[in-house]
């Protein structure tokens, strides 16, 4: 009963704003700092991705730069200046990431003009030409990475005696059938037994798979090539191909 009461009282406490949490962190609350850094990872990814013009993963160097920048923004934030900490940290993150990109030769002809706001804080100011340059570089880099990814996937398919033409010709025609095939692929990759068989034998373990899904053997065989392809996408480092299946890959 006591635990329940404490839980209810905790739930009734007013949730602190990010600005209020920043003050507590600046006063030495390390545990709260770690919590905020974890909770705001999606914001950091989104901000960094907007600069890099591609989806950023936590394993990317750019994400680490953004995380450090967000940490610094929390420690430097001054609530008396009136600006939101989100707006302030967004400026800091973008500035640090672009500096990192420039210093590591990942983009050409991009410079940073630093101006001072009325409260004395540095702000990032990009000219239109610079913004276009960043966006154009992002598009070119993205296209290159997409081509490389497709080439790698094509090579992997060949080991399973499959080609893109096979997938085009034998992919399920109806959305429901495609979703069912994707669910079957998820079953494969979530089972060490089935996945190991697929990788070792280079073919789908239809007989074993039939026992784990509510789909007929005939349906599995008809969509065999598509199921294999989706399974390979799920276990591989295929950012753009996974993006094509966005919203269907919660595994």
**What is the per-residue pLDDT across 113-171, written as a single tens digit (0 to 9) for each?**
434 344 444 444 444 445 545 555 556 666 777 788 888 888 999 999 998 888 888 88
- Sequence spans of domains, the chain: 12-126, 136-244
- Give the pLDDT score at 117: 43
pLDDT (mean) for 8-27: 70
The answer to whether the pTM exceeds 0.85 is no
Beta bridge partners of 202: none
Kindly report the number of other CB atoms within 10 A of residue 198's CB atom.
23
- Topology classification of domain 12-126: Rna Polymerase Sigma Factor; Chain: A (1.10.1740)
Kindly report the number of other CB atoms within 10 A of residue 128's CB atom.
7
Q: What is the CA radius of gyration of the chain?
A: 24
């Amino acid at each position: 009963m006591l635990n329940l009461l404490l839980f209810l009282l905790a739930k009734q406490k007013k949730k602190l704003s990010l600005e209020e949490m920043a003050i507590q962190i600046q006063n030495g609350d390390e545990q709260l700092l770690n919590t905020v850094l974890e909770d705001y990872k999606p914001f950091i990814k989104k901000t960094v991705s907007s600069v890099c013009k591609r989806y950023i993963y936590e394993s990317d160097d750019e994400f680490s730069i953004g995380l450090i920048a967000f940490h610094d923004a929390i420690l430097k934030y001054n609530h008396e200046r009136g600006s939101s900490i989100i707006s302030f940290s967004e400026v800091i993150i973008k500035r640090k990431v672009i500096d990192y990109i420039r210093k590591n030769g990942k983009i050409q002809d991009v410079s940073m003009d630093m101006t001072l706001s009325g409260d004395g804080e540095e702000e990032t100011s990009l000219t239109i030409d610079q913004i276009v340059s960043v966006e154009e570089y992002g598009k070119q880099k993205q296209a290159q990475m997409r081509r490389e990814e497709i080439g790698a996937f094509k090579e992997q398919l060949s080991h399973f005696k499959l080609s893109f033409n096979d997938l085009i010709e034998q992919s399920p025609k109806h959305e429901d059938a495609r979703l069912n095939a994707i669910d079957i692929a998820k079953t494969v990759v979530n089972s060490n037994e089935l996945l190991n068989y697929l990788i070792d034998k280079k073919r789908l373990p239809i007989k074993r798979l039939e026992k784990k899904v509510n789909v007929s053997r005939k349906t599995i065989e008809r969509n065999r090539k598509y199921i294999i392809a989706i399974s390979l996408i799920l276990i591989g480092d295929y950012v753009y191909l996974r993006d094509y299946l966005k919203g269907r890959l919660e595994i």
